[in-house]
Amino acid sequence: MILMIISAVLQKHEVKCFRTAFLPSRIKSLNAISPSRVEPDDEPTPSFEGDPIEEIDASTVEVGYDENCYPIPDQPWRRGDTDGCEDPIVSSWRMEAEELIRFACSSVNAVVYDITWGMSHCIITISDTSQVEGTIEGPEVEIDMGEWYDGSSKGTGPDYFSNPEEEMSEEEMADRVEKYPASLILDMEDPLSKEREAIDPMILRAVGDSIRETLGDPDVEERLRVLSRHQILLTDVGAENYLNTQKEFDSHRGFQVAVETRDPWKSNRTLKGIFVDRNALDIILNIDGNLVTIPQNFVYRVKLLSKERV
């Protein structure tokens, strides 16, 4: 099943628009980029070779970063102010927010399957909108159908939609063409156009408007600060062999999973182990008896490998 995500950009406690997170409505070009430099997955992450970074005197710049701030005591590598979003999934403010979100959706006859929290986003999974009456009012809606890419051994991989001509100098472009001369696809049609057209943005607009009004109530925002701290995402129920929502993660503790990761250094890899926990910041696996913490911002997807606890 194709995952749709509708991203709400929130400014001053109002939903300004719903925007796509990954895929443009029409893909103009898909270019070949070198695959991950990690091969096989169990080898160390390669060193990153890039332009030297010019150091500055931090005392001359007004910054909010505090190097002595450790929001989670047992994670010394994580620094900075997480603004309370490191709280447990079952914290009281999240539980109250979930009740309000479910009420907002039910008021327009949308059925909520689950609500999943991240560091800076709240994903609301909707299982049924057949009884929702659409509206032309509310936030603007654009549809993200996920990603499409060439998954072959010589393909680009899932995160390399780009137009390098817009991002590189002539010298950099010449160097790139010398290394990777072939483009896989040019001027391709949107392969998900039929699925995209089947989604009624008026229905999503009605659901989004109801959520915005409920969470945007001044008293609610003052107490819970959901809109000021989170991006609101609407999605449908995902494929059965992937863990997408909080209740799916909770019900599969002890199962064998594969976590596909992404990072800016192209050391994308797949980590396999026993699923232990998922919170707003991390996914935790047991790999050969060692607890491994994977930050959510590096997680692409989590695939279920076993049908029973191991």
**Domain boundary at 214, 238, 262, which?**
238
pLDDT at 235 over 70: yes
| Residue 266 and residue 202 share a domain | no
Comparing 117-121, 161-165, 242-246, which segment has the lowest mean pLDDT?
161-165
Tokens describing residue 289: 């008896």
pLDDT at 31 over 80: no
Model confidence pTM above 0.75: no
Q: Which of 2-16, 26-40, 131-145, 195-209 has the highest mean pLDDT?
A: 195-209
**Domain boundary at 238, 260, 278, which?**
238
60 pLDDT tier (thresholds 50, 70, 90) = confident
* pLDDT for res 289: 95
* pLDDT for res 33: 43
pLDDT at 18 over 60: no
Section 134-163 average pLDDT: 55
* 206 assigned to some structural domain: yes
| Residue 208 and residue 254 share a domain | no
| Residue 310 and residue 164 share a domain | no
* pLDDT for res 167: 63
Full residue range of the structural domain in which residue 299 is found: 243-310
| Residue 119 and residue 86 share a domain | yes
* 57 assigned to some structural domain: no
* 276 assigned to some structural domain: yes
Q: How many structural domains compose the chain?
A: 2
175 pLDDT tier (thresholds 50, 70, 90) = confident
CA 272 – CA 164 distance, rounded (Å): 33
Comparing 103-117, 188-202, 219-233, which segment has the lowest mean pLDDT?
188-202
Q: What is the DSSP string of the chain?
A: ----EEEEEEETTEEEEEE-SS--SS--EE------S--STTSPPPPP--PPPPP--GGGS-----TT--SSTT-TT--S--TTTTS-TT-HHHHHHHHHHHHHHHTTTPEEEEEEE-SSEEEEEEEE-TTPPP-S-SSB---B-------STTS--TT----GGGTS-HHHHHHHHHH----SEES---TTHHHHHTS-HHHHHHHHHHHHHHHTSHHHHHHH-HHHH-EEEEE----TTEE-SHHHHHTTTTSEEEEEE--TTS---EEEEEEEEE-SSEEEEEETTEEEEEEGGGEEEEEE--SS--
Comparing 77-81, 193-197, 289-293, which segment has the lowest mean pLDDT?
193-197
* pLDDT for res 148: 46
